[in-house]
């Protein structure tokens, strides 16, 4: 076992093993690939964020005075495309997951290391292509690319953007294949399925969604391109097609996609909460089953995006019922986190602040999802800011907070240095406050009738918009701060011990940063996960 | 060795016979049952290829993959199909599509 | 000492099982990739039953049936090639891989002939489409699916054929490690999957409405 705070030698440190750019760009090490992902994900996040900043500036006044209508359409399209496909979907699985999945199961790497590198190149290639399309003028169809506007009327670079997304999709399929085979076949001796960390369960279920849903998107985007290029008519009612066919196919992927985004976030929360409550996760098995249930039922609810688009009332009823059902396993998870917290000895470290923020904001976002899943309420609320607020509560209040929480939690392990804890807590609180100020007014706006994707609005909505834009500037600070102090800690942060948080989990038994092959000898697992409040609880900082 | 070759030749013969059957049956005037018979024979052919050539029977992991994927694929047909089954489509008359200025 | 080629697994047998498992998952992603086209077909078949029957009768059932026979035979040849490679009968395996490849070529030639005549009949989707008779719009929809399905299938076939050619040449040159039995097996699984896709495309595209009902 390595000494904790001494400088880790070159042979024992994946970061120092090879310092050339080439060694990074041709690496097979899942930890390096994870870092490559995290760097590129961060870049895309700020590009997508820049689009959002421009939108919020524009929306501070009722008139369309900052950008033209067409430009505004392009802004929200590129914001959505980049945030969904180039940030949210890869962030936790390909960023944190690539690093942690092999380590959490006691493996030396993922099942297919070279495929892992290929998936990063596909991601960067597709992402760059999309950014180039953006610079060339972008698309204005919304990230949902609805026909017939995208196929017949839009005069923007739709096909370029589609192609970028198409390529990035293959990146996530490869990650999914890698994770599934890894979890099935590379678990250490004694690590049965029900001893796995919930982060592993979450990414496993996410991978199943990735491999089954993403190909449907790929074909749907191809069909869209064919319709646009050849005018074949599958989505054009005048030619015998059906625009709703596009929506069915698109949402068949895009609804499970939101579970691709939120399940890994739930996995992160399930790692952080027991650690900073010093308690086992309450109801471990139900948490694992709930993850699977969310993944499976999540495939059956996509029609709730189509309640007012012409879908039959009977199908809408069915989708509404199924959407209510999918809330049940999510609620079980929230209850179990709360039950884990109850009676624990809580430490409000930065990762815990993010995780607690997740629990509250995800709950609110989820409840508003139930409102939207109610057919009659949705007739009023669909395509308003209520929907925008709902999904940002889950995606930003939920997934982004969990991602940041995970980054902070595993930062010492990944980088081998600790970040400044006070700044971590400040940034978490600023982000939480800024987030709520940005998005809570949007629930009110939507309820009052403000449509989404509009840049001009009646004066009576301005107060809420101004509050939202003010919140956005605070939220931006909340995101820029970690960029600052985490970068600082790369060079100046104090060296980390192997287990600064006294957490359970195989990843914490290695040095910080870990050696290139993770474990000198394959560990043997003899106890359940989250062995806090037991004799195996790591009570002292592991030296 | 001979066992392997024999199994392959038998499977191949079965596949070609089934091909002849499905082709011939397509001309029988049995209405909607044509489709049922043809798809049924196709499923049988696929099963032979999967079982004999792909050794699907030997791998429970592979069978699980196929089962889960087929289930999810069927969800599209079942749920989106429920939409189409319960709503009337009134196709518009043929119209030439509008022209656009950009790919 | 852990065999380097098995990394990160402990032995090559585990590595082989992982590869096979990974390939099956990949094949399922391919199944889901074809899914939307199949659903689009089903939508058209239910909505425009008569026009679909008319359109399907317009396909060349002789060539289609011939192509199906060619692909089924190629699958048999591929299975035999894999079996030969596994028992180290390298020359036989090379020959069978070549036969599989040639059968794939024959398939593409026949498909090309079909496409050519369909091009001349103005059945390609796009501005040049023309069909005499009512339900032209729905017939056009059928033909879009016909071309989309068969073209995507053909692309997959070409990828498979490339794999076969690479492995056949490698085997012939004695590169036994590169053309390892495990890899030929994986190529075989892919080839059989492409065959299974066609097994379903054949009745869907060629046999609809043949009984005139």
**Which chains sit next to C, with 3 or more Cβ pairs under 8 A?**
A, B
B83 has a chain A CB within 8 A of its CB: yes
Do A386 and A443 form a contact (C-beta atoms < 8 A)? yes
Separation of alpha carbons A235 and A217, rounded Å: 15
- State the pLDDT at residue B96: 65
Ranges of residues in chain C with a pLDDT under 70 are: 1-5, 213
Q: When comparing pLDDT for A225 and B90, which is higher?
A: A225
- State the pLDDT at residue A55: 97
B16 has a chain A CB within 8 A of its CB: no
**Ramachandran category for residue B28: left, alpha or beta (phi over 0 → left; psi -120 to 50 → alpha):** beta
Quick one: pLDDT band at residue B101, thresholds 50, 70, 90? low
> Chain A 180-219, CB below 8 Å of chain C: which residues?
180-181, 184-186, 211-216, 218-219
Residues of C in contact with B78 (CB under 8 A): none
How many residues are present in chain C? 213
Which of B66, B72, B93 would you mutate first to test chain A, the one with the most A CBs within 10 A? B72
Quick one: pLDDT band at residue A542, thresholds 50, 70, 90? very low
Q: Do B73 and C212 touch (CB under 8 A)?
A: no
* Nearest chain C residue (CA) to A219: C33
What are the angstrom distances between the C-alpha of C148 and each of A6, A86, B45, C153?
Answer: 61, 28, 23, 8
Give the three-class secondary structure for A309: coil
Residue A193 has pLDDT above 70, yes or no: yes
Q: Do B76 and A239 touch (CB under 8 A)?
A: no
- pTM of the entire predicted model: 0.95
Q: How far is A335 from chain C (nearest CA, A)?
A: 34
Q: pLDDT per residue over C81-109, tens digit each?
A: 999 999 999 999 999 999 999 999 999 99
Could you say which of B35, B46, B76 has the minimum Cβ distance to residue C35?
A: B76
Q: Do B68 and C73 touch (CB under 8 A)?
A: no
> Chain C 86-115, CB below 8 Å of chain B: which residues?
87, 89
Instruction: Give the contacts of A376 (CB within 8 A, at least 6 positions apart).
Output: none
Phi, psi of A451 (to 5 degrees): -75, 155
- State the pLDDT at residue A543: 38
- State the pLDDT at residue A4: 45
Phi, psi of C144 (to 5 degrees): -60, -45
- State the pLDDT at residue B2: 74
End-to-end CA distance of chain A: 9
* Nearest chain A residue (CA) to B83: A315
Q: pLDDT per residue over B18-75, tens digit each?
A: 999 999 999 999 988 999 999 999 999 999 999 999 999 988 999 999 999 999 999 9
- State the pLDDT at residue A2: 41
- State the pLDDT at residue A480: 97
Q: Do B82 and A216 touch (CB under 8 A)?
A: no
Separation of alpha carbons A415 and A35, rounded Å: 9
Do A394 and A258 form a contact (C-beta atoms < 8 A)? yes
Q: pLDDT per residue over A26-57, tens digit each?
A: 999 999 999 999 999 999 999 999 999 999 99
Q: pLDDT per residue over A196-227, tens digit each?
A: 999 999 999 999 999 999 999 999 999 999 99
């Amino acid at each position: 076992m390595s000494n904790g705070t001494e400088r880790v030698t070159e042979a024992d440190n994946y970061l120092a093993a090879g310092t050339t750019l080439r060694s990074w760009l041709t690496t097979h090490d899942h930890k390096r690939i994870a870092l490559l992902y995290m760097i590129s994900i961060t870049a895309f996040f700020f590009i997508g964020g820049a689009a959002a900043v421009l939108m919020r500036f524009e929306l501070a006044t009722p008139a369309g005075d900052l950008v033209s209508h067409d430009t505004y359409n392009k802004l929200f399209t590129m914001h959505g495309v980049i945030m969904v496909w180039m940030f949210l979907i890869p962030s936790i699985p390909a960023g944190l997951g690539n690093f942690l999945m092999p380590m959490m199961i006691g493996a030396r790497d993922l099942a297919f290391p070279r495929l892992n590198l290929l998936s990063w190149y596909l991601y960067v290639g597709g992402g760059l292509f999309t950014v180039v399309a953006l610079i060339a003028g972008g698309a204005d169809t919304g990230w949902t690319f609805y026909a017939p506007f995208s196929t017949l009327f839009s005069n923007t670079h739709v096909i370029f953007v589609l192609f970028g997304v198409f390529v990035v999709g293959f990146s996530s399929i490869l990650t999914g294949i890698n994770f599934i085979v890894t979890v099935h076949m590379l678990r250490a001796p004694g690590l049965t399925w029900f001893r796995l960390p919930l982060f592993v369960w979450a990414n496993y279920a996410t991978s199943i969604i990735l491999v089954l849903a993403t190909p449907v998107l790929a074909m749907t985007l191809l069909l869209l391109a064919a319709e646009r290029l050849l005018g074949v008519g599958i989505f054009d009612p005048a030619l015998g097609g059906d625009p709703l066919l596009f929506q069915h196919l698109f949402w068949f992927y895009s609804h499970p996609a939101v579970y691709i985004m939120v399940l890994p976030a739930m996995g992160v929360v399930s790692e952080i909460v027991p650690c900073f409550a010093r308690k086992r996760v309450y109801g471990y098995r139900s948490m694992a089953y709930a993850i699977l249930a969310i993944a499976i039922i999540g495939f059956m609810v996509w029609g709730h995006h189509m309640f007012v688009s012409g879908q039959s009332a009977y199908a809408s009823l069915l989708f509404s019922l199924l959407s209510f059902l999918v809330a049940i396993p999510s609620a079980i998870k929230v209850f179990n986190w709360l039950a884990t917290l109850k009676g624990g000895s809580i430490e409000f470290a930065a990762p815990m602040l993010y995780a607690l923020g997740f629990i509250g904001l995800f709950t609110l976002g989820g409840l508003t999802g139930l409102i939207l899943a109610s057919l009659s309420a949705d007739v009023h609320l669909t395509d308003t800011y209520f929907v925008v607020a709902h999904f940002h509560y889950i995606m930003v209040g939920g997934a982004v907070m969990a991602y940041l929480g995970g980054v902070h939690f595993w930062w010492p392990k990944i980088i081998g240095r600790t970040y400044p804890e006070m700044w971590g807590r400040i940034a978490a609180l600023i982000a939480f406050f800024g987030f709520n100020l940005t998005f809570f007014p949007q629930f009110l706006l939507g309820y009052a009738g403000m449509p989404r994707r509009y840049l001009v609005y009646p004066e009576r909505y301005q107060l809420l918009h101004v509050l939202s834009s003010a919140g956005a500037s605070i939220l931006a600070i909340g995101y820029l701060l970690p960029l600052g102090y985490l970068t600082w800690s790369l060079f100046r942060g104090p060296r980390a011990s192997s287990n600064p948080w006294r957490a359970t989990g195989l990843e914490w038994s290695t040095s910080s940063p870990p050696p290139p092959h993770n474990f000198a000898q394959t560990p043997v697992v003899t106890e359940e996960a989250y062995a806090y409040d037991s004799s195996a609880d790591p009570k002292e900082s592991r030296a | 060795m001979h066992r392997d070759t024999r199994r392959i030749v038998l499977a191949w013969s079965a596949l070609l016979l089934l091909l002849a059957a499905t082709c011939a049956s397509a001309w029988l005037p049995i209405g909607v049952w044509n489709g049922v018979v043809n798809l049924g024979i196709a499923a049988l052919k696929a099963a032979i290829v999967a079982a004999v050539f792909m050794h699907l029977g030997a791998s429970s992991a592979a069978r699980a993959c196929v089962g889960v994927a087929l289930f999810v694929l069927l969800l599209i047909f079942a749920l989106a199909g429920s939409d189409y089954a319960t709503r009337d489509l009134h196709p518009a008359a043929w119209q030439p599509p509008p022209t656009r200025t950009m790919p | 000492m852990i065999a380097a080629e098995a990394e990160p697994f402990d032995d090559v047998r585990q590595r082989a099982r992982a590869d096979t498992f990974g390939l099956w998952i990949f094949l399922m992603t391919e199944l889901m990739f074809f899914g939307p086209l199949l659903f689009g077909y089903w939508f058209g078949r239910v909505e425009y039953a008569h026009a679909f029957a008319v359109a399907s009768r317009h396909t060349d059932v002789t060539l289609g049936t011939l192509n199906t026979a060619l692909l089924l035979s190629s699958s048999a040849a591929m299975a035999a090639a894999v079996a030969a490679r596994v028992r180290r009968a390298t020359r036989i395996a090379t020959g069978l891989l070549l036969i599989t490849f040639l059968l794939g070529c024959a398939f593409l030639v026949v498909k090309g002939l079909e496409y050519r005549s369909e091009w001349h009949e103005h059945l390609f989707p796009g501005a040049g489409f023309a069909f005499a008779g009512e339900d032209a719009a729905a017939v056009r929809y059928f033909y879009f699916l016909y071309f989309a399905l068969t073209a995507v299938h053909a692309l997959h076939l070409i990828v498979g054929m490339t794999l076969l050619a690479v492995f056949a040449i490698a085997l012939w040159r004695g590169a036994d490690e590169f053309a390892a039995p495990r890899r030929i097996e994986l190529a075989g699984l892919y080839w059989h999957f492409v065959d299974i896709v066609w097994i379903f495309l054949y009745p869907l595209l060629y046999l609809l409405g043949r009984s005139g009902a």
